[in-house]
Amino acid sequence: MNEVSTPPPRAGGSEDRRSALSVSPHPNPPPQSGGGRRRLLLLAPLGAAAAAGAGFYAMLRGLGTGSYDPRGVPSALIGKPPPDFALPPLDGAERPPLSAADLRAPGRPVLVNFFASWCVPCVIEHPQLMRLSREGVPLLGIAYKDKPEDSLGFLRRHGNPFAKLGVDQPGRVAIDWGLYGVPETYLIDKAGIIRWRWAGPITEDTMSAELQPLLRRYA
C-alpha cells in the first residue's frame, strides 16, 4: 500500500500514472498478472475478517443456547461404563445405597446426580430434579463431601428425588467419575454407558434443550 506515497523514482506498475510528471508511457510496463493477484491480496483481509465474524457469531449464538461453553470441560467418561464403586447409604434417608452394580445395564436411562448441602447451585437445580422424579426418571444421588446429617437436612428441606443414595464423604468416588465441582449430572443409558455429563445446575433450559431430548433418544 505504501507505493502510493513513494516518490516517482520507484515507479513500477500503475503508480507512475499518479506521479506529478506525465512521463508516460513507461518504457517497460509491469506484467499484467501482478495487478489481479494484488487485488486478490487486498480482498484477503476482508475475507479473513468475514470468516472471523461468522465464527464469533456462531460462538455467541452457542453461548446463548448453551451448546457452546468456553469453560466447559468435556468428560472423559462419555461412551464408557461408570467406574467401579460402592458407597455407603445415607442413614435416615430410607433409600438403598448406590453402587456400580446398580448402573450396569439398568434397562432404562438413569441419571446420577452429585450434590451437596453446601452447594448453592444444587438448590437451584433441585426443582428440576424433583420434576424428573415425578415424571418417573430414575435419579440416583451421590452426596459429595458433605456431612450425612447436612445432606439429610438438605433433602428434608427441599425434597428427596433420589431412588438410591450414596455418601461420598472423602470425595474419592467422585474423582473416579472425573467430577470437578457440584452439581454434576450423568446420563447412563439402558445398556449402562455414560452418554452425557452436565457440569452445573440443571435449569429449565437445560431440561428442555438437552436432557428431555436425550431421555427420549435413549429411552
Residues that bind other proteins (CB under 8 A): 8-12, 21, 23, 26-28, 30, 63-69, 71-77, 83, 116-122, 124, 144-147, 150, 171-172, 175-178, 180-183, 199-206, 209
Residue among 83 and 89 whose Cβ is closer to other proteins = 83
Residue among 180 and 190 whose Cβ is closer to other proteins = 180
Residue among 13 and 163 whose Cβ is closer to other proteins = 13
**N-term to C-term CA, the chain:** 63
Measured from the CB of residue 213, what is the shortest distance to other proteins in angstroms? 15
Specify the pairing of strand 139-144 against strand 164-168: parallel
Taking the C-alpha atoms of residue 102 and residue 195, their distance in angstroms, rounded to an integer, is 16
R_g of the chain computed on alpha carbons: 31
Measured from the CB of residue 120, what is the shortest distance to other proteins in angstroms? 6
Measured from the CB of residue 150, what is the shortest distance to other proteins in angstroms? 6
Residue among 165 and 182 whose Cβ is closer to other proteins = 182
Measured from the CB of residue 77, what is the shortest distance to other proteins in angstroms? 8
Question: What single string gives the DSSP state of each residue in 106-152?
Answer: -SS-EEEEEE-TT-HHHHHHHHHHHHHHHTT--EEEEEES--HHHHH
Measured from the CB of residue 189, what is the shortest distance to other proteins in angstroms? 20
- Say which residue the cell 494484488 belongs to: 38
Give the list of residues 6+ apart from residue 57 with CB closer than 8 angstroms, or none. Answer: none
Residue among 31 and 107 whose Cβ is closer to other proteins = 31
Give the list of residues 6+ apart from residue 76 with CB closer than 8 angstroms, or none. Answer: 178
The C-alpha cell that represents 217 in the structure block: 433418544
Measured from the CB of residue 52, what is the shortest distance to other proteins in angstroms? 16
Residue among 81 and 163 whose Cβ is closer to other proteins = 81
